[in-house]
Structure 1
Amino acid sequence: MPIPVENFFLKPDSKGTLQARIQQMVAEGILSGRFRRGEKLPSSRKLAHHLGVSRITVTLAYTELLANDYLTSRGRSGYYVSNDAPEPPHFENTPRKEDAVDWSRAIGQKFTGAVTLVKPQDWAQYHYPFLYGQTDPQLFDHANWRLCALQALGAKDFAALTRDYFDQDDPQLVEFILRHTLPRRGITATTDEVLITMGAQNALWMTSQVLLTQRRNAVIENPCYPSLRGVLTQSRCHLSAVDVDEDGLPPEEIPENTDVIFTTPSHQCPTSYTMPLSRRQALLERARALDALIVEDDYEFEMAYLKPPMPALKSLDEDGRVIYVGSFSKSLFPGLRLGYLVGSAPFIREARALRAAMLRHPPGLTQRTTAYFLSLGHYDSLIRRTGKALNDRRAIMEHAIRKHGLTIAGKGTYGGSSFWMRAPDHVDCEELAQRLAKVGVLIEPGTAFFADDIPPRNFYRLAYSSIAQARIDPGVAEIAKAIEATPVT
């Protein structure tokens, strides 16, 4: 593939004849590393037209570069960067000229500095990846996803692929969510009560932007998903963290002045506790008494393989005060970044306007491919296959944890894909994770999940969604050995 002709331009302040300036332009491109050995240059005719010079001027410049081993000619094929061209210099140790901008003053609002989870990009290279939320390639239905993508790319779906939906969504995907996904959670909704999002995180961010101001008060669970805490901190609302127990968020602990309650009743993040029906009803009563809204992140409800999942909080809501967040990114693959919001029409209308101003809509190809994958039954097959595999791995993991003397702090009653673990009080799980990574074991330290000023450091999460069964026991053994080797201070 030739170097695009748009990459060539003459500097207005360069000196010398046109021929010399063209030689300098090409040579600088090679010396800077922009043009690499073996890459083809534009033809003399095309470059001459682009630069607005005569063809003979470009030809003479190419000829001179050819003589100096910057270029080579391949018969009637054209000119290429020579394999003998000078190597671009290495600038790693050369100090870059500092910006004239004072960024500490120019940046109006900072988004860095929050405590976040660290997920190694090369996690699959580790022998024992007890890392949450990653996709097991042995379980994912590559073949049918590829077929659905090809179908979405077909001429019949040209409009769905290419059109600007502006503030709307793929009607096929919305229809499936309304008729199949939501009824399974006991939820009924209409088209104007559903909005497609770029995953659950995007849904939570839009919800916070629409509902919260500096004068409003929000409640989160403690511990909870760190990125949710970051989103709410950015909204500058007054934020309270309520400690969860084995039944999830205790309604009686929610402060009197609360406006919005964020909760994960299906599988509390990260403990995996499931909120029982009686507490769900009590939470709705508490929200009614406070005239507060509830944002329900229906986290991992598809992974209820031990027994049928509890009805969604939204399905019990008679006041329209619950906003429901769902996601396909957890159940299909995290890179999909596709979720949905369900709420009363006035709320969805505002969220839709915010999304349109920010990113218009999620890509049409992604929406239509997912719609086909869902509607053709591949999604249900994948969930059944994944549930069976997770059930088997969970049993092996639980046995290994008991065998090696580790302590479970929380586990899903209905299923899930991870255990919330507690190490002895003297163990710093951040430091433990660093030591384990050196022997091929990945765990998630739990510190980031807590809102406390001085959070406990002896919690960690072990996931089994992407680790082979045969590696679970030896991996848990390595964790137990590392904890045992931690000195008591």
Structure 2
Amino acid sequence: MAISVDTFFLNSDAQGTLQAQIQEMIAEGILSGRFRVGEKLPSSRKLAVHLGISRITVTLAYTELLANDYLTSRGRSGYFVSENAPVPPIYTPPVQSREAVDWDTVLVRKFTGGDTPRKARDWRGYRYPFIYGQADPSLFDHANWRLCSLRALGQKDFAALTDDYFDQDDPLLIEYIARHTLPRRGVIARPEQILITLGAQNALWLAGQLLLNQSSKATIEDPTYYTLRDQLHHVGCQVDCIPVDQDGLPPQDISDDTDVIFCTPSHQSPTTATMPMARRRELLQRAHDIDAVIVEDDYEFEMSFMRAPSPALKSLDSDGRVIYVGSFSKSLFPGLRLGYIVGSEAFIRQARALRANVLRHPPGHVQRTVAYFLSLGHYDAQIRRTAKVLQDRRQVIEEAIIEHGLTVSGEGVYGGSSLWMQAPDGINMAHIAEQLKPDSVIVEPGAPFFSAQHRKHNFFRLGYSSISANRIAPGLALLAQALKQAETA
């Protein structure tokens, strides 16, 4: 790879001769890791023209660096960064001088400091990763995804690849969602009622921005998806956090002044509770009585390997007050960031306009690739394959839980890819999680899922989508040992 001549410039305030400045410039690039071993430097003629100096000055600088083993010469091919140059493994930009701007004063809004935790980036290096929501490379259909991606890059799909979709989405993807995905959930929708989003999180944000303001009130489940709570905090609305029970959100606890109800009826996040059909009808009736809108996150319905999932809440909606959110990011891979939101045409029209103002639209090539992956049957095949593996892992993890005397608080009647666990009272799972890391075990503390007024520290989530079956029991043995030691401490 050649180093661009545009990366070189002279500092008018620098000390020393031009030759020395060029030597220092190149040496600094090599020592910082910005220039890598084997990369080609610009020719002396090109660099001289670019800097507006004599070519002999550049040649002398190169010759000195060659003598000091920073550079090597390959005949008429030019100068390259030497293999013997002291290059660090990772490029680290130099620390800039102190900024004059007081950003704490200048920033009028801050989006840090919420409950959303950071997940371990190096989780693949752990032997026992009971981590939730990450893709298992052994289950993903790399070959057919690659073929669909290449097909989407073809001349036939040039428009889908390059067009600006600010006021629409990929018609093939919308058609598949309308004709196949939504009818499986009992939902019938026209293309004008469907909007592609950057995952469910983006869909929830759009809903919050359009439906709520500082004089509004939102009802959410407790515990719940922590990012949703953070998003509503930034909207500035009043948030009522209602504790869920074994059947999910209790409709009778929703206050009369609620404007928007956020819920996960099919697979409550994170307790995995499934709302029975009778309660779903009660929830719709309660929303009707108080004239509230419901935002339904149909979370993880695809992973129903134990029995068929119940129809979506929106399928029972005769008032048009349910906004439905779905995602392909959980079922394919989280880095895909592709989901959809379904609602009345008036709502989707405004959601599309808001999306266009913020990010225009999800990339056309990604939409077309997913459309092919879905329409050619690869998605359904992967879901069936993944469900079979998750079912096997579920059996192994349940047996290991019984063996080690661990307590399950929620296990999902239809399946899923995680269990909601409860440690003994007085145990702080954040501390246990840190203690387990040296043993190569990752578990997810449950405290961030709870609101501040209902916060509990002895719950945690065990994901089994990214850990092989043969490592589940040894990993849970280490977890059980850590819990026992904490109890006796």
Is TM-score (shorter-chain normalized) higher than 0.5?
yes
Q: 1:19 to 1:465 in 2, by over 3 A?
A: closer
Q: Who is 1:331 aligned against?
A: 331
8 A contact 1:41–1:80 mirrored in 2: yes
Q: For structure 1, which segment, 136-145 or 472-481, has the greater mean C-alpha deviation from structure 2 after superposition?
A: 472-481
Contact preservation (8 Å) 2:195, 2:340: yes
Q: CA 1:87–1:291 in structure 2 vs 1: closer, same or farther (change >3 Å)?
A: closer
1:14-413 to structure 2, matched below 5 A, reads: 14=14, 22-23=22-23, 25-30=25-30, 32-53=32-53, 55-56=55-56, 58-67=58-67, 69-83=69-83, 97-413=97-413
Q: Which moved more, 1:148-157 or 1:282-291?
A: 148-157
Point out the more displaced range, 21-30 or 233-242.
Answer: 21-30
Q: What is the Cα deviation at residue 66 of structure 1? A: 3.8
Work out the CA distance in 1 between the residues paired with 2:303 and 2:107: 42
Relative to structure 1, the CA distance from residue 150 to residue 478 in structure 2 (aligned partners, 3 Å threshold; closer, same or farther) is same
SS of 1:301's equivalent in the other structure is coil
In the TM superposition, residue 483 of structure 1 has moved relative to its aligned partner by 1.4
Equivalent residue for 2:449?
Answer: 449
Measured in 2, the distance between the counterparts of 1:481 and 1:257 equals 48
Name the CA distance, whole Å, in 1 between partners of 2:182 and 2:17.
71
Give CA-to-partner distance per residue, 1:371-405, whole Å, 9 cap, x none.
11100000000111111111121122112212221
Using structure 2 for the length normalisation, give the TM-score.
0.94
SS in 2 for 1:11: coil
2:33 and 2:91 in contact (8 A); partners too = no
Structure 1 residues 267 and 59, CA, compared in 2 at 3 Å: closer, same or farther? Answer: same
Cα 1:298/1:20, change in 2 over 3 Å: same
Q: How far apart, in 2, do the equivalents of 1:472 and 1:34 lie?
A: 42
Secondary structure, aligned partner of 1:2: coil
**How has the CA–CA distance of structure 1 residues 7 and 321 changed in structure 2, closer, same or farther, with 3 Å as cutoff?**
same
Larger mean Cα displacement after TM superposition, 279-288 or 466-475: 466-475
With over 3 angstroms needed to count, the CA separation of the structure-2 counterparts of 1:211 and 1:399, relative to structure 1, is same
Contact 1:443 1:462 in 2 (8 A): yes
- Please identify, of 208-217 and 452-461, the stretch whose mean Cα deviation from structure 2 is larger: 452-461
C-alpha displacement at 1:39, in angstroms?
2.4
SS at structure 1 position matched to 2:76: coil
Instruction: Give, in whole Å, the separation in 1 of the partners of 2:461 and 2:425.
Output: 16
SS in structure 2 at match of 1:72:
strand
- Shift of the 85–471 alpha-carbon distance from structure 1 to 2, 3 Å rule, reads closer
- Give the conservation status (yes or no) of the 8 Å contact 2:36–2:87: no
Tell me if the contact between 1:152 and 1:365 (Cα under 8 Å) persists in the aligned partners. Answer: yes
One-letter identity of the residue aligned with 2:415: G
Q: Indicate if the aligned counterparts of 1:426 and 1:488 stay in contact, CA closer than 8 A.
A: no
Shift in Å, 1:479: 1.8
Shift of 1:171: 1.2
Cα shift at 1:225 = 0.8
User: Letter of the aligned partner of 1:287 in structure 2?
Assistant: A
Distance 2:298 2:289 in 1: 23
Say whether the 8 Å CA contact 1:444–1:462 is kept in structure 2. yes
Cα 1:125–1:29 shift into 2, 3 Å: closer
Structure 2 spans left out of the alignment, 5+ residues: none
Q: Distance in 2 between matches of 1:63 and 1:202?
A: 55
Aligned-pair CA distance for 1:447: 0.6
Q: For the structure 1 residues 17 and 425, does the alpha-carbon distance in structure 2 shift closer, same or farther, using more than 3 Å as the test? A: closer
Aligned equivalents of 1:65 and 1:469: distance in 2? 56
Amino acid at match of 2:270: P
CA distance 1:85–1:248, change in 2 (3 Å): closer
Instruction: Give the conservation status (yes or no) of the 8 Å contact 2:417–2:465.
Output: yes
Structure 1 residues 11, 278: CA separation in 2 closer, same or farther (over 3 Å shift)?
Answer: same
Contact 1:447 1:459 in 2 (8 A): yes
Residue pair 1:167, 1:355 contacting (<8 A) in 2 also:
no
Partner residue, 1:479: 479
Deviation, structure 1 residue 291: 0.6
How many equivalent pairs are there? 487
* Cα pair 1:248 1:268 within 8 Å, conserved: yes
Shift of residue 100, structure 1, vs aligned partner: 1.5
C-alpha distance in structure 2 between counterparts of 1:91 and 1:186, whole Å: 52
CA distance in 2, matches of 1:403, 1:33: 51
Distance 1:17 1:462 in 2: 63
1:302 is paired with a residue whose SS is: coil
Report how far residue 360 of structure 1 moved.
0.8
Give the C-alpha shift of residue 98 in structure 1: 2.7
State the AA in 1 paired with 2:62.
Y
Please report how far the alpha carbon of residue 38 of structure 1 lies from its aligned counterpart in structure 2 after TM superposition.
Answer: 3.4
Question: CA deviation digits over 1:359-378, x for unaligned, max 9?
Answer: 11111121111111100000
Secondary structure in 1 aligned to 2:356?
Answer: helix
Q: Which amino acid aligns with 1:404?
A: H
Secondary structure class of the residue paired with 2:77: coil
CA distance in 2, matches of 1:173, 1:26: 50
